[in-house]
Chain A
Amino acid sequence: MNRLLLTVLLLALVVPAIHAQILYTLSGTVRDSASQQPIVRAAVVLDYEKAATGTYTDAQGHFSIKARIGQHVLVVRSLGFVPYRTTISLHENTVFNVRLPSVSSQLEEVVVTSKGYDRNVRQPLLGVSQINIATLKKMPAALGEVDILRSLQMLPGVTSVGEAANGVNIRGGTTDQNLILLDDTPIFNPTHMFGLFSVFPPDAVSGLDLYKGNVPARYGGRAASVLDISLRNPDLNKFQMTGGVSLVANRLTVETPIIKGKLALLVSGRGAFNDFLLRAVSPRFDNIRAKFGDGTAKMFWRVNDKNTVTAMGYYSQDLFQTNLLGSLANVNAVNTQYAQQTANGMVRWFHAFNDRTNLQTTALVAQYIPRILSTEDSTNNKVVLKQSLLQRQIKSNLNYQLENQKIEVGISGTHYRLNPGELIPGNSLAVNYQKTPIENALELGIHAEDEISLSEKLAVSAGLRYSHFLNLGPSVVRRYANGEVADATTVVDSTVYGAGQVTKQYGGFEPRLGLRYALTPNSSIKIGYNLMRQYLQVITNTTTPLPTSRWKTSDAHIQPQVSQLFSVGYFQNSKNNIFELSAEAYWRSTQHILDYKPGADFLLQPYPETQLLPGRSKAYGLEVMVSKKKGELTGWVNYTFARTLNQVNQGVDFQQQINGGDWYRANYDRPHSLNMSLTINQGRHHSFSFNFAYSSGRPYTAPEGFIRYQGRTYPYYDERNQYRLPDYHRLDFAWNIYSPSMKNRRWQGHWTFTVYNIYGRKNVYSIFYRTEGQATNPYRLSIFGAPIPSLTYNFEFK
């Protein structure tokens, strides 16, 4: 009893001391910020991190909560509204009213946006993704560089052969079957440093459209897809500067009005010259030199209310030297460098006849020059193997907008001038000047398209393009014996064509059709059909095309690739467009794809047809994606099943077949992939992003066995792509730290901390066999074999 008494006494002494702290009342009303209607049963929580106390609002939206004096963290949440967070300091009874903005009135955070809130369901086009550059900037990026191509691979149907892939594979297409346009100018090599970074300046890009299903008739020239990246127009009224510093590259974008309201200029540059850091990290990188830079300038001139003129220039340069790349065979050199440059320019005149009719005329030039530089030992002289590709194009589009339809007609003419290879000896004593014949070609196109709503439920997009291709002389065209392997021994005769003479022409219609049928206001079914013709392609025998891989126009022996795509999809949006579901299935068939003979060599080869085998390709797949587009948590999850198979069967000889003429897996055939991209916007201070990517390993060719030859063991290869690399998966994380207190300052900065490949999986890029001494050993190569943290500082100056 005594003990109990003692306890009570002690409590009596202590408890009043606790109660001595005064409790104040925090009360208020929670309302919808737009309608001013009270929000019922909104959760009001104080200090959720410590001793969370909380309540709900009543029918009138009122709440009342007691708390001690001092600082408190207040969070107000209600389903369908953006949560509200603040810190309040409580010194007396306080009334605190909260207005929550509705989630549905928020701007969308994620993919598939612009024109119309429910475009997903309403537009009669399938397989169109529009990516908001703001979304991309929040996504975790390898080495802190915002990378469009890498981010695109988080979308269904977009894959690549691995982390160092020089381009992406879209719905079973090769990398060169994607038409990549940067403000209408074609990009022939989309990556820096052999696929580690993409070439598009993130600060200058305003958005991008990816057409992997229905491709509008105005686009032509590639067989699989179109990636249309547009650069931002400079602000006509306000100076502003943005930039960033990361471990890999530094960038700066300046936009300034020249004549306020009339003429403005945007200049954006990025450079990576930090390769000395690599050498500092490990002596293994001693021999690596990696520098790249790209710059963009865009001018926008509003001539008057009816006319605008836009001019754009883009330049990019790369220099790369590494042991991972082979040297130029038969040039006696001690080291090899790869250098490439892109120089594109474009002028566009936009004229509005009236509110409904406008005409856009664009003239552009794009030049791509890759070079391999081999340094000779004795003289330090560089022997240069150079390729150059020049594309000049002029096109004009007339758009006519009606109440329920949109009509577009246009013409285009493109000239290609291709120097497939030139060996420039410099002052070498050994090497002789060599040259392969220049290729000249003309591609003409005319198109018409009508997008029309036939009824509430039915909408159609019908387009037709006709393209005509002319391969022009001067050239020598060989004729090979019928049914024989095309090589030097089977030449029957050859024809000499003079300058400007047509050596071969191809042409054909390219129908494009999209159909949408609305099941309910929030769901629809779409079907699509596409035919596309491609007259310019990369020929290569490497896993991923090198920047120096040879481009080739269609000619008497190499027929244009023709691809047909059938697709069908189901689309559904949730009531307030917060969630979006899409499921698309496709089937694609391509004629005249190019594969190579075993041991093909395209370098300085005047007759590449002797090294090539035409074949066909089929691809099919199913893509399912769910995205949450608004709210604190945004992002998407998608699953793709996709197959790509090729067949080459040109004759009975085993040199004319691949895998005995059977269907075989394409290099990028990866049946299953699952991607998840999530962003958590924690108020104005932080955002966290996670990316998770999984896909089946790509096929590779392993030896069938080993042979003993000349005292050594060699692998014996036969079937192509009969094995798969281990599955690929990776998790990335990004933390964006903003400081809203600086909101009103002219200078604003924010930090991005990213970790690429958090759990450090050694994803296998390739498995290969090397004969060492007398034995042959298997090896695997991982590109990013460890977690890669990086920190980027971004700033904006207005």
Chain B
Amino acid sequence: MRPLIIRVFIFLSSLLLITCVDRLDINLPQHTNIIVVDGMISNLPEPQIIQLNRSQTDSVTGRSGFKAITKAAVEVIVDSTQVIACHETTDGRYQLPSDFRGQVGHTYQLHFTLSDGTQYLSTQQLMQPVPPIDKVTLLFSLTSLPANTGVLEEFRSGYDVLLDVQDPANQRNYYRWDWSLYEKQDWCQSCNQGYYMTNQLRLVSSYPNILIYQTQPELAENCFDAPSPALFGGNYTPLPIFLINSYVCRTQCWDIIPSTTISVFSDTYSNGGAITSRNVGQIPYYTENPALVEVRQSSLTADAYHYFSLLQEQTQNTGGLADGLPAALSGNVHNTANPQEKIVGYFTAGAISSVRYWLDKKDATGIAYGGVYYHPGLKVTLPVPGDQQLFFAFHRALPTVESYLNFTILGGGLRPPTALCVPSDSRTPNRPEGWRD
């Protein structure tokens, strides 16, 4: 056998192993009519809220709609004995008495009766203790946000929220982590085809084709629709189709941006271990302005953990090979008369420890999501001023200040007015604790 000298010339043709994920535009027929329960009793001195809604498919359009369930009698049963009633603050939003808060080691159970008399009851949830968060680090990364998610198009810069906690060894722990981002908002209201009015208006004259309104003493603090063309008679100059007027805030105002992913963890494999640098979320790099982040760590019951981890698995999947097949999730609320009725959502109780982190964004590189603006006319990209970046990040358009009214207002001071910072789940006029100026 002669020695072998193998010389192989390799010609590699072009390889395009294209595994692609495309956004789909499908509209499958939907048929749901299901009650959704969302409630968690915490140990924090803040409003304890239970929300009820009905997710229902519109029988005509076939699209999902969400309707608040109003006028329900909602109560929380503490330790199987004490019954505490909730009152409805806004539609579908039921609040426990303002001095009420949960306590570790006690059980909570939700009971509610719909206006038609149907009764629902949750399982008992025992509030577990939660260890304190040892450390939170926010680390800037140009690829923090997952690729191809469609949240902010292809924008991926953001902060990874890394958390350290020492898991207690003497018990089974289930965690859920959430973050809230407080960004300063300078623009409090935008009016589409309309104008912001602090006070109500009354039409006093429409002759000759000139509309005159009188400012009333009653407050409006809302958008006033541009008068209909019919009021003008034949002398109407049409408004631009995209007339959106934006108004700066009267007081300081903060937008509260919640986490958009579910992050849960169980110490099944690491009981008593130190959980270090756990990535519990990604905060998009919306603006260059400093911001405040609150990271919350809640304890969960085993069942609630199981529910949220399945919800996470089903909704944050990658479509690929290792995804578990989606299946109906069973919550812990049941119709007392008809156990076959499926109810979505979970009522649970959890202790919370939280950390507030001042995000000065000095380590950020690249451009913030709201940082530059492409001017279609000049065909250049221009920097967005700091006070407009959050607005631009959310609307992908710069705020336009009201410049022209096609009617006359008597009284009411100079225009444009400032707008009220209306408190809600996503906005507050109250300076958040930990905010630095």
Contact = CB atoms under 8 A, between A and B. Distances in A.
A770 B315 contact: yes
Interface stretch (A262-270, A454-462, A779-787): A779-787
Given A143-B15, A543-B321, A654-B342, A332 B327 contact: no
Interface string A674-710: 0000000000000000000000000001111111111
Contacts of B18: 782, 784-786, 788
B34 interface: yes
B315 A701 contact: no
A571 interface: no
Nearest to B13: A791
Given A781-B20, A788-B16, A770 B316 contact: yes
B404 interface: no
A704 B150 CA distance: 23
Given A332-B277, A774-B260, A707 B4 contact: no
B315 A771 contact: yes
A325 B322 contact: yes
Interface stretch (A43-51, A363-371, A761-769): A761-769
A492 interface: no
A797 B23 contact: no
Interface string B143-159: 00001011100000000
Given A378-B276, A772-B260, A723 B28 contact: yes
Interface stretch (B77-85, B305-313, B405-413): B305-313
B263 to A, nearest CB: 11
A788 B17 CA distance: 7
Nearest to A383: B269
Nearest to B339: A653
A655 interface: yes
B265 interface: yes
A626 interface: no
Contacts of A406: none
A786 B20 CA distance: 9
B424 to A, nearest CB: 11
B4 A781 contact: no
Contacts of A330: 265-270
Interface in A737-782: 753, 762, 766-774, 776-782
B41 to A, nearest CB: 15
Contacts of A785: 18-20
A554 interface: no
B230 interface: no
A702 B315 contact: no
A432 interface: yes
A33 interface: no
B32 interface: yes
A718 interface: yes
Contacts of A713: 64
Contact of B274 (A277, A430, A771): A430
Interface in B250-309: 258, 260, 265-279, 306, 309
B325 interface: yes
B274 A543 contact: no
A423 to B, nearest CB: 6
Given A330-B270, A430-B275, A708-B36, A771 B316 contact: yes
A538 B345 CA distance: 32
B310 A332 contact: no
Contact of B57 (A239, A247, A705): A705
A781 B269 contact: no
Interface residues of B, number: 83
Contacts of A768: 317-319, 323
B8 A245 contact: yes
A106 interface: no
Contacts of B150: 772, 777
A712 B344 CA distance: 13
A75 interface: no
A789 interface: yes
Most chain-A CB neighbours within 10 Å: which of B23, B268, B313?
B268
B20 A377 contact: no
A487 to B, nearest CB: 11
A786 B16 contact: yes
B236 interface: no
B324 A541 contact: yes
A766 B322 contact: no
Given A598-B327, A716-B55, A772-B260, A793 B15 contact: no
B270 A781 contact: no
A430 B270 contact: yes
Contact of A428 (B10, B265, B273): B273
B8 A793 contact: yes
A431 B269 contact: yes
Contact of B271 (A324, A432, A718, A782): A432
A4 interface: no
B38 interface: yes
Given A277-B15, A325-B320, A377-B276, A772 B270 contact: no
Contacts of B374: none
B17 A278 contact: yes
Interface in B30-53: 30-32, 34, 36, 38, 53
A639 interface: no
A715 B22 contact: no
B60 interface: no
Nearest to B152: A773
Interface string B234-247: 00000000000000
A55 B324 CA distance: 67
A325 to B, nearest CB: 4
Given A332-B277, A542-B324, A714 B15 contact: no
Interface string A243-276: 0010100000000100000000000000000000
A710 B178 CA distance: 12
B21 interface: yes
A323 interface: yes
Contacts of A428: 270, 273
Contact of B270 (A332, A598, A701, A711): A332
A241 to B, nearest CB: 7
Nearest to A719: B328
Given A708-B55, A777-B150, A716 B19 contact: no
B207 interface: no
Contact of B32 (A241, A543, A705): A705
A797 B317 CA distance: 50
Contacts of A653: 339
Most chain-A CB neighbours within 10 Å: which of B4, B8, B17, B273?
B17
B36 A247 contact: no
A329 interface: yes
Interface string A165-209: 010000000000000000000000000001100000000000000
13 contacts: A281-B15, A285-B17, A330-B266, A428-B273, A429-B274, A431-B269, A434-B268, A598-B330, A704-B30, A708-B36, A708-B53, A712-B260, A776-B315
Nearest 4 CB-CB pairs, A to B? A430-B273, A705-B32, A598-B327, A324-B320
Given A707-B36, A780-B21, 8 more contacts: A194-B321, A277-B12, A667-B325, A703-B30, A705-B32, A720-B327, A762-B22, A768-B318
